[in-house]
Structure formats: C-alpha cells, structure tokens
Structure 1
Amino acid sequence: MSTATAALLEQLDLERLDRDLFRGVSPDEGRPRVFGGQVAAQSLVAAVRTVEGRMVHSLHSYFLRPGDPKVPIIYEVDRIRDGRTFATRRVVAVQNGEAIFNMAASFQIEEEGFEHHVEMPEVPPPESVPSNAERIRQAREHADHPIFRWLSKLDRPIVIHDTDPIDPVHPTVRTGPHRVWFKSDGGLPDDPILHRCVLTYASDMTLLGASLAQHGLTWFDPTLQVASLDHAIWFHR
C-alpha cells in the first residue's frame, strides 16, 4: 500500500463525536478547497457507521458550498428509515455552522435477484496507456503550467489510465463516452464497504474532465472555474 493510499484510509477513519455525529479532516495538499470525492467518501463512511447488516447500493448528493481544507468537517447523520430490507440515511457535512454537502444513501440486505450485464467495451488494457500522472509529467515538458507543477508533486491514492487520453496542453473536442481504468495505489483491506467508500472518493476524479472534453477544453484552462455540483452513484455487483 502506498503512502497516499494509507493517508486516504486514515482520512476515512472518522472520529465519532456522538451517536450520529462524526468529524473528519482534510489532507494538506495545497488545495484552495476540499476535494469533492473526499467529502462524498467521508459522508458515506459516516452513514455506514450507523447501519448494520446492509450494504450501500446507491447515493445521491449535492455540493452546496466549497469546503475549507484547513477546517474540520462535521458530519451529521439522520436515520431516515430502518426497514426489514432497506435503510436510508441522510448526511449533512457542516463547516463553520453551514452545510457544504448533502447526501442521501440507501442500504439493502444482500439477497438474490435478477442479474444482467452490459458487454465489456473494446478498450486498450491499462498497461498499454500511460497513467494520468505520467501524462502530467509529459505535459510539463511542453508547458510548465503551475497546475502541472502542483499535480506532478501530488501523491495520489488512485491510479488512473485514460483509454483515450486528452492532450492537456492542446485539447480537441471529444464526443462519446469517457472510459478509464482506475485502481487504488496498492491493496486495500478486505472490506467491501470500505471498497465502496474508496470508489466514491475516486468517482469524482474524472467527471469534470469528461464534461469539458465535449467542448475541447480541460480544467487546466485558466479562464475556467470548475466544481462539482451534484453526484450520484449506483453500486452494481
């Protein structure tokens, strides 16, 4: 397990303040605001710690205000419903007395049901395409952008391989799906709930890029101000 992955697991180990009240902190990475995937993952951890015997199968969330990475985040959990099969939780992330994030998560007892799947698309294997970290280092050779310098120093817990990478220096319009391979940088504990929390963290790492690619832009463009507004995940078997 890499140092960055170990640090992520530490961030997800929230401090319990009360029965349904938790506190989380942010890493010192030089960000002006809290990474959206972090607050989403920590919110899910808070919800998970109030549910027994059920696995999260979906979540829906809204980013309400930018988070300050220097200020601890308080997670307030509301036990909306505990049924025989399903449980629902609402989590509000708070800083300085104001909500910065809101999540609703649904949990279900694991049971047999109908199964179907979509065929795996034809994509290059991950080892045949450079990781995003490698592409950033290559981009610095052509444009010494401040964001490139910052990203090249950042130790990321998630390794991403874009199957059809966009040139961050000279982007072109891309239509269609945005497909990436990604995994944690090193193994994780054998805990399926923790795996879904880490997946929630990683899910916010490529969404903005996929949207901007439709316009021939990247989030490195100095004329843009980008942020996640809402987020939904369905966890499939």
Structure 2
Amino acid sequence: MALITLDDLLGCLQVRELRPGVWTAPSLEMDYPRVFGGQLLAQAVALGAATTEGKTVKSLSCLFPREARRDELLSFEVEETQTGRTFAVRRIRAGQQGKTVFVALLSMHVPEPETPPDLEHQDPAPEAAGPGEAVNVDLNMIPWTTRVVDGTDLRDRAAGPADYAFWTRVADRRLADDANTHQALLAHATDLTVVGTVLRPVEGISQADAGSKLHTAVTSHTMWFHRPFRIDDWCLVHQHSPTLGGGRGFGQGHAFDAGGALVASFAQECMIRPTVAS
C-alpha cells in the first residue's frame, strides 16, 4: 500500500506566496521524519509555473545539501533570475530554521509550435514488455499504478544488471490539462528507485539494506523535459547506473510515452556508505 495519497501530493503542489519572492507549501503526510526528495522536485516545478506565465519547465537541476524535516515549515525563496519572451530562469532555495535544505535552478520555456519532422530525431525506446505484461508492484511513494518490467525486485540481494524499468500511470482519474502537473508528478516518481538500481550489481546488498547496513541519500537530481506527455496515460521509465564508487552512486534514466516518444530524461547522484557500528 502506498505511504501517501495522490490527493496529498497534488495538495503539495498548491504553493502559496507569503511575501514577494518567498513561498511556502505543505509537506506530505506520512509516518517518516524526512521530506521525500520527489516532493521537493515536484514543488520546484510548481514554483516555476507559479512565477512565470505561459511557460513550462525545460529543465531543472537540484541539490539536496541536508535533510528536510517533514514536521517543520518549508520556506522557498524564488529568484527571478531572468524573464524573456521565450525563456525564463528561476533559482529556488528552500530553507528550514535558516538552513538550506534544497536548491534548484529551473529553465522555463514557452512551448514551441509543432516542429517539422525533418527537425526531430530520438533514440528508439528500449525493448521492454508492455504494461499488460509487466508486474503490478506497490512502489510505496508513488501513489498511482506502477508495473515493473520483468518483475525486478530492488530488494533482492542477488547481483543483477544495473537496470530497472517500470510503467506508470495515474489510472483513477483524468488530471488537469496543464503540462506542469504532469511534469511535477513524473519528477516526483523519478526520485524513488535510482538508489536501488545503482545497488543491483552488488552481491549481498540491496535497497532493502538502506538504513541498516547502508546510509543512503540523494545529493543531486537533474531532469530535462523534451516533449509534452500525460502521466494519466502510460509512461515507461527506464533507468541504468553506469557507476558506483567513492561513496557515490550515479544513475540515468529516460521516460517514454506509450507510443515510444522520448518525453523526459533524468540523472541522479546519491551517497551510498556502509554504516559504522557504534
């Protein structure tokens, strides 16, 4: 069962301006002391939308310098770095008790008219079983349908390839048509499974050991949106980790719509350290 509800997550996107340049938003209600990083990614998208007109997120690059506490108010300082007719830049700093917990740099873009076919290309979507053949799995922080390709279990401690893929779709409702809601929810979903993907090639260790044998935390996350999409239609999230070393893991991913169009890409660095017995 998911630890959060979609209604609560959508509520977290209702950002509110306290005074010029300073905003706030609620945190997800759950039995966990830390703010989930995916929530902050989604809220960064919402803040970009709230502080620009007629633009959507082209890219966001985020840092998580320290843990954010769920039971403390989040304050977002938004700097309107640049605003043009086509592009805009926003810098976001989230703080609690005077300390920085999150930093994001957003590039916003007015959607372009449809480009000629001879000015487009993309790598083909990976070969993967469709959502009807994938295994329905509860990915506790994603409160909508997720189906894992080949039923890969990130808690399995047997070594495997550093790859992971899942189909995802909000199936219980039709969401609003604004692109920012769909971008925010996909950004939230990309934060959850990279650490587990990084750990797959390590024999005897898995995501299940986070908090016991391992101390893990996301340190940075970058995302690019390439084409319009809807998260209430099927999307395939496919990710791979090329390296783990020096206490840091790295993963990359792409999201495709059901027709195979590449709609987004992301990259994440995470801290992965063995815990020290006290």
In which range does the TM-score fall when normalised by the shorter chain? Answer: 0.7 to 0.9
* 1:195 corresponds to which of 167, 182, 190: 182
| CA–CA distance in structure 2, aligned partners of residues 69 and 77 of structure 1 | 21
Matches within 5 A, 1:77-116: 77-112=78-113, 113=115, 114-116=119-121
Contact 1:166 1:172 in 2 (8 A): no
Would the alpha carbon gap of residues 172 and 77 (structure 1) be closer, same or farther in structure 2, given more than 3 Å must change? same
Contact 2:28 2:39 in 1 (8 A): no
Would the alpha carbon gap of residues 85 and 168 (structure 1) be closer, same or farther in structure 2, given more than 3 Å must change? closer
| CA–CA distance in structure 1, aligned partners of residues 42 and 130 of structure 2 | 28
Deviation (angstroms), 1:62: 0.5
Question: Which structure is higher in helix share?
Answer: 1
Which letter maps to 1:218? S
- TM-score w.r.t. the length of structure 1 is 0.83
Runs of 4+ in 1 over 3 A off after TM superposition: 164-170
Which letter maps to 1:214? P
* 2:125 corresponds to which of 120, 130, 144: 120
Q: What whole-Å deviation, never above 9, does each CA across 1:1-40 have from its counterpart, x for those lacking one?
A: x981112111111222123221122123111311000011
Residue 234 (str. 1) matches residue 227 (str. 2) = no
Which letter maps to 2:108? F
Higher mean C-alpha displacement, 167-176 vs 42-51: 167-176
- TM-score w.r.t. the length of structure 2 is 0.72
Contact 2:88 2:107 in 1 (8 A): yes
| CA–CA distance in structure 2, aligned partners of residues 176 and 63 of structure 1 | 24
**5+ residue gaps in structure 1?**
137-150
Which letter maps to 2:208? F
How large is the RMSD of aligned CA atoms in angstroms? 2.1
Contact 2:35 2:67 in 1 (8 A): yes
Deviation (angstroms), 1:172: 2.1
Deviation (angstroms), 1:168: 4.9
| CA–CA distance in structure 1, aligned partners of residues 169 and 28 of structure 2 | 20
Which letter maps to 1:104? L
Would the alpha carbon gap of residues 167 and 86 (structure 1) be closer, same or farther in structure 2, given more than 3 Å must change? closer
**Structure 1 match to 2:194:** 207
Deviation (angstroms), 1:185: 4.9
Structure with the larger RCO, 1 or 2 (CA within 8 Å, 6+ apart): 1
> When the two structures are aligned, how many residues end up with a matched partner?
217
**Structure 2 match to 1:147:** none
| CA–CA distance in structure 2, aligned partners of residues 185 and 32 of structure 1 | 29
Identity %: 29
